[in-house]
Structure 1
Amino acid sequence: EIAFTRQLQKQSPKLSYYYLGFYIHSCPKMRYKGQYRPSDLLCPETFAWVPIEQCVLQLENTRYARFNQDPDAGDARVLKDVGRALVLYRRAVMPYAAYSRKRKGSSDELEVQQYADLVGQDCAEKILLYRA
């Protein structure tokens, strides 16, 4: 499979990545995946690709690890402003900020924040959250 991919890459240089699927460090049968170079693992918290060489020591010591060592890096999909989440209220589409101004004293901000955190930035700005 990898030989075929390398052959295809010679014909199309834009084909520069090959996804080997899941990697479970504690499974000896999967260790071969880390021997291909370059090999990257996806950080489960920031969704950034990190070279496997930087991850192996962490995987040897713990079952779960954040691979991206940048403390300021976060999930790019997290909603930064709940006011930008889209709401459908009385047949009108509006950002949550406008909805909460219309509904003075609206007490659902924590609920909307939880929704936005679960679906992420992109989806919260595309999916309509129905409010009665």
Structure 2
Amino acid sequence: MKLGLLTAPFADTSLDEVSDWASSAGFEALEIACWPKSSGGARRYAGTSHIDAASTSAAQAKEIVASLAEKNLTVSGLGYYPNPLHPDAAHRAAIIDHLKKVIVLASHMGVPVVNTFCGG
């Protein structure tokens, strides 16, 4: 078992800075927030994007994993927690589209887990 944290509460801090601090504090794993890049109001911790799933290439994904490994950190999962059952069809479609991008990113990173909400 590894002690880790979710990066979402660090919305104004880069992944590099979060990982430096996490490593120095003895953490061993990160669940990396992967919300779509956007602006405007959002609920607490929603909207944090430490990796842009829409534009990160497979090579960049592997570089991120390697950089974290140099800090003795692993990626326990990628996190994106919207409501995929939203009543608005267009909003729901955008959520599902982004979730698919996060799943592809996880595959490129060799990360076996994507954490999300089932909807409600």
Same fold (TM over 0.5): no
Structure having greater relative contact order (Cα 8 Å, sep ≥ 6): 2
Shorter-normalised TM range: under 0.3
**TM-score between both structures, scaled by the size of structure 1:** 0.25
**TM-score between both structures, scaled by the size of structure 2:** 0.26
Q: Which has the larger radius of gyration?
A: 1
